[in-house]
Structure formats: C-alpha cells, structure tokens
Amino acid sequence: MVREIIGPIPRGNDLHDREELIRNMWNIVKTQDVFLVGPRRYGKSGVMCKMYDKPEDRFKVMFIDCEKLEDPYEFFASLLVEVLKNKSMISKIKDCTDSIPLLPEAMFNKVKENISEIELTQIKIKLRDTIERQWKEESLRCIKELDKLANKSNETILFLLDEFPSLLKHMIDNRKYAETRLFLEFFRSIRLDLNLGNVRFIIAGSRNIYTISRNIPQLLLDNKEISEDEITSFSLTHVFNDFRKEMIEPFDTKTAKKFIVELFESDNITVKTDIVDKVLNVASAVPYFIQLLISEIKRHHDGDITLEAVEKIYRERILGPTCRFYFEYYEERLREYGTLNEKCAKAIVVELSKAGKLTRDELYNIFILNAKKKDASMFDNLMSDLEMDFYIKLDSDNKYSFASKILSDWWLRWHTVSRNR
C-alpha cells in the first residue's frame, strides 16, 4: 500500500507507477546516456532510486547526489567513492591499481567490510585533493580503466547523477564561469572521445539545466562580473546532444485516480468519486501535489470528506500561510533567469493566473511592456524556460494556461496582480 511521502524521495512501494518509464530507461542505457527531464516534484529522484535499489542484471549502479557538490574535483571524487562502496567492484579494481594512480593499494587497505561514512568522507577528501592538481588527466584515466574493467566482466557501470544542474549552479554562484564551461566540455569528451562502451550516465535534476546555461551571461552582468561587450555565448546544445532525453510526465487520469484512492485507503478512508475528481482537478495529476492535498485533507477534515470540506481545506490550508513554503521554490526559481527575465516572467505568470488562458501574442505584448523592447528570441527562450519549469503549458486550442491549478491559485493568492495587457 502506497504511503504519503511529502518531503523524502519515495522508494520501494511508495513510488507509484513509473514502471514503463523505468523499463524504457533500462533499455536505453544499454547503448546510450539518458537525460531525465521534468519539473520539480514529478518523481525523477524516485525513478533513479528505484533503478539503484533494483538494478537489472549485468549493471553496477552508482547513485551520486550532486545537490551539494561545488566543483569538478568533488564531483569526480564522489564518483570514485561510490565505486569503492561497491564490494564487487573493489575486488576487480585491486588487480589494476597500477593503471589507476588515483586508487593506490594503500587506499584499498582502508576499504574494509562495513566501512563507516566518516571513513568514506576521509577517502573522498583525499581523492579530491589529488584530483584537483590534475583533475582532467586523472579523471580521464580513471574512467577509461573502469570502462575496461566493466568490459572484461561483460557488465555496465551506470552512474546516476541526481541534481546534476545544481552542481553547475553552485559553480556559477562561486564565479567559476570559465571552469563550468571547461568541466562540461570535458564531461562530454569523456563520454564521446573515449568511446565508452561499458560506462553510462543518467543525469537529472530539479533545475532546468538549459535555463541555467542560457542565463549565465545575464547573471554575470547583474553581478557586475562582466560588461556588456564581454558577453559570450554559453550553449549546452552541443554538450548534451549525445544524451537521449526522456520526459517524466504527470500521471495519466486513470493512474492518478488510482493513486488518490490508494492514498486515502492507506488510512482506511473510503471516498466517493466526486472527491477523487476534485483532488485530481486541483492537483493536475502531479504526484507531489496530490500527496500534499490529501495529507492536509486527512489531517484537517471534520467528519465526512465532502466537496465543501475539500474546498475549505484547499483555500485555507494549501493556499494559506501554513503551506506557503511548499510553493516558494517556484518563485525563487525565477531569480535564476536574471533580473530582466525574472521581471518579465513574473508579469507573464501573474497575468496568466488571472486570465486563465492567453494567446502567445498576448503574452508577447506583456513581455514587451516589461522588457521595454521587442526581442522575439529572448521571449521564445523565456517561454521555453517557463514550460520546462512547470509554470505554463500550451493547450490544444493553441492558448497558454498554467500547468497546475494549485500554482495558478497560489500566484493569485500571494501576488498583487497588475494589468499589463
């Protein structure tokens, strides 16, 4: 029985559905790297953890959370530590320490049964210090040798890089613009120039990696790191064009309804069809929003769960001060767009939340009024970012609307609406 999981990553039976997506990803990584794309709270980390917890035959799976990593040295050190944590990999690597100077025999003597997290941290620090001196050369040699080892065993080493875009964001925040570009180009060369056949990567993250890269120049301008005449392009199109993009979607209607029923049944609560439909209408088939709404309904309903009770809880709890912090992330994300794009994005989402639906031309007019200029390319990029970050969607009638009723209502609740059209 599925349980409510609001904060932590859903694992085991708590990850509802996604079997088809996971099957597809296992098939893809046999020959290609994967870029798992989707907005925050759609279940990307849950999918990756499921692959880590239940790997297919002949796969050695390593999971790396990149959320707090800040440079290439720490990134590659984390990869190696995960390799060292895999007992079957250790025995293979011990036989070729001469070809991997980063992993000398003395280090393996420290890697014993039931090694503690403190000991692993110490090893990671040592590895990071070693890698920093010649991080490109050392990392290249190490990945190459790991690929050879996996090939000898007829296995594939699969690195799951969760929150990978956050690593790039941290590097940019630390004013390491040139190093970020060098790292990404080098990461590409590892995958392609070495012709890796037995090492694969799946990357994913809450942040839109293309938004981060596209807005680097504007962020540098805002922070007075560069001047207007120093702006250069920072395109990720060629950096990740070898990845197969897999999109994680909201649940389909049938799956979402089953999920809603099971969440209520986990507390022995039986609800009528109209309640299921109401929850689905508000939460837009997004697993996290469904969980959040049902959690509040269970905690605060008084007696029978009626449509009126659900609406009251939705207005007073979900959209109220108590749950406001659950959604502030979506507003904070806009700050990563740069000052001008942030201003335009806020104007667009505020007006859209009030109007319900607007045409592209209407949204472009809002953009022009706030940007104080006509720039179709800039507008196209902004619209793409807003779609990727789960603000808006293009409907079948060729008009834009909010991707989620909850987010639309939240913007109306907490932001002053000014008519820009």
- Per the CB < 8 A criterion, the answer to whether 262 and 271 are in contact is no
Alpha carbon of 31 to those of 35, 53, 158, 234, 253: distances in Å? 14, 21, 11, 28, 32
> Thinking of the domain 328-414, which architecture would CATH place it in?
Orthogonal Bundle (1.10)
Query: What pLDDT shows up at residue 112?
Result: 55
Query: What pLDDT shows up at residue 217?
Result: 63
The third-level CATH classification (topology) of the domain covering 18-247 is: Rossmann fold (3.40.50)
Q: Which two tokens stand for residue 191?
A: 């995958």
Alpha carbon of 178 to those of 123, 293, 343: distances in Å? 28, 44, 27
CA dihedral (84, 88, 94, 96) in degrees, to 10, reads -100
Distance of CA 353 to the CA centre of its chain: 25
Amino acid letter, residue 119: E
Strands 34-37 and 244-247: parallel
Q: Which two tokens stand for residue 313?
A: 């809880």
Write out the residue limits of the CATH 3.40.50 domain(s) in the chain. Answer: 18-247
Query: What pLDDT shows up at residue 421?
Result: 43
Per-residue pLDDT of the chain (421 residues; tens, 9 = 90+): 676 677 677 787 778 888 999 999 999 999 999 989 877 777 888 999 999 999 999 999 999 999 889 888 889 888 888 887 777 776 666 555 555 555 555 555 555 555 666 667 777 777 777 777 777 777 788 888 888 888 888 999 999 999 898 888 888 778 777 777 788 888 888 888 788 889 999 998 777 666 666 666 666 666 666 666 655 555 555 677 788 888 888 899 999 999 999 999 988 899 999 999 999 999 988 888 999 999 999 988 877 899 999 999 999 999 999 899 888 888 888 887 878 889 999 999 999 999 999 999 999 999 999 999 999 999 998 998 898 777 889 998 999 999 889 999 999 898 865 444 4
Write out the residue limits of the CATH 1.10.10.10 domain(s) in the chain. Answer: 328-414
Query: What pLDDT shows up at residue 418?
Result: 47
